[in-house]
Amino acid sequence: MAILKIARMGHPILRRPADDVVDPTAPEIRKLVEDMVETMEDAPGTGLAAPQVHVPLRVVVFFVSPQRAAREAELDGSAGDSAVLEGVPLSVLINPVIEPLSRETTLGWEGCLSVPGLTGEVPRHSAIRYRALDLEGQEIVREARGFHARVVQHECDHLDGVLYPQRMTDLSKLMFTSELHHLSDG
C-alpha cells in the first residue's frame, strides 16, 4: 500500500477524460484501488477519483459514514428521508455511469482534495441511479439521493475532466473553508 500524490487544480491530468478500465479484476486495478483508499483515508477525504492520483482511468472510491450522512442531511434539509441517513459503505466504482432520476437539483457545499482549502456551493441532481463494476467485475446498480448522490456526481465528474467550480452557478459562493463560519454569523 502507498499514499499517492494528489494532483491539484491546473494539472492537465484533471482536465482530460479518463479511459475505461478494460479488466476490473486485473491485479494492477486492485493495487490502484488499495492505494486510492489509503490516500483518501490519509487526506482525509470522502471520495477520490483515479485522475486525482495521476492515473487516467475510470475508477472512483468513496465512503460516507452515518454520522457524516446525518450532518449533511441536516444541512440540505433532507433529514426527513431516512434512507439518506444510513451512509454508504466503502465503495469502489469502475467505469461508472450516472442517470439522473429527476430534473430537481439541490445546492450543497463541496470540497475537493484537488482544490485544497476551498469550498463552494454546487447544484447537483437530487436523485440519481448509477451503474458500475466492482473489483470482481460484478455490476453494481444503486439509486442515491442527498449527499450520496452528490458525492457520486462529484467523483464521476473527475472522470470527465470536470472540477466542482465548473458546476457552480454562483461564484460568490466559492470561498476558503476557513471563512465558511461567516455564513452562520449572519
Question: In the set 21, 112, 151, 159, which binds Ni ion (CB under 5 A)?
Answer: 112
Is residue 98 within 8 Å of residue 152, measured between CB atoms?
yes
Least distance (Å) from Ni ion to the CB of residue 112? 3
How many chain residues bind Ni ion (CB under 5 A)? Answer: 1
β-pairing, 118-125 vs 174-176, is antiparallel
Provide the minimum distance between the beta carbon of 127 and Ni ion in the complex, in angstroms, as a whole number: 21
* CA–CA distance, 120 with 105 (Å, rounded to integer): 15
Q: Determine the interface stretch with Ni ion among 3-11, 71-79, 112-120, 140-148 (rule: CB under 5 A).
A: 112-120
Sign of CA dihedral 173, 177, 178, 181: positive
Q: At what angle do helices 66-76 and 146-159 cross, to 10 degrees?
A: 100
How far is the C-alpha of 117 from the C-alpha of 137, rounded, in Å? 36
Complex with Ni ion: residue 61 or 133, whichever CB lies closer: 61
155 is catalytic: yes
C-beta separation of 106 from 128 below 8 A: no
Per-residue binding letters, 72-111, with Ni ion (x by CB under 5 A):
----------------------------------------
Q: Which of the following is catalytic: 86, 136, 155, 179? A: 155
C-alpha cell at 112: 475537493
Kindly state the smallest distance separating residue 48's Cβ from Ni ion, in Å.
7
The residues binding Ni ion (CB under 5 A) are 112
For the annotated catalytic residues, the residue numbers are 155
